[in-house]
Structure 1
Amino acid sequence: MDKATGKAFLDADGKEIKAETTFTPTQPTGTVTVEFVFNATGLHGKEVVAFETLYYEGIELATHAEINDEGQTVKIKNPEIGTKATADGKRKLQRIRSRLPML
């Protein structure tokens, strides 16, 4: 859900973001990973809140849908790319300043 509007969150392609997984519990408590894959181009700074619903044989058993739940909120950030140059994998290279004559 879009935290700012409370409506379904749409990715950069205009598609509603949804994910689901099927699992069989092995213990009375635990966790399950649900992977969301979507185009986040241009969505920098937006906040998305994941709502959860648990079904068994088509019957809704539980739901968690709290728009202000910080534990369910993800802020989309732009990826950062950087490099660090080394001479032999251990030492940092120093920048060499040189002055070229102006013609």
Structure 2
Amino acid sequence: MDASFLAKKYADALKNGKIDSDSLIKLPKLVTCGDWKKVEILHTVDYLHDVPAVHYKGLLVMHQGGLYYISQKVTDELGKIDRRFIKHYPPVTVTKS
């Protein structure tokens, strides 16, 4: 399935600073982008999902109408060229479904 389709499908998953854990694990990862300045940074995320054991640590962003997850590794690299990626943003609350 196309990542942009999934991102747009879950665009409404984030409400009032909260996201369901099932929605979080289904979000596509944004690794490459034609213009990083068009990425809107929304929240930081730091969530350990138990099954499968995956640590989500990074940012939740909007890009071209879709919601994406950017890992900490990618944000660290982006922070070298764009300071927006190393600023502190409000943390998202992950709720269990």
TM-score (norm 2): 0.22
Q: Which has the larger radius of gyration?
A: 1
TM-score (norm 1): 0.22
Structure with more relative contact order (C-alpha pairs < 8 Å, separation 6 or more): 2
Structure that is richer in strand per residue: 2
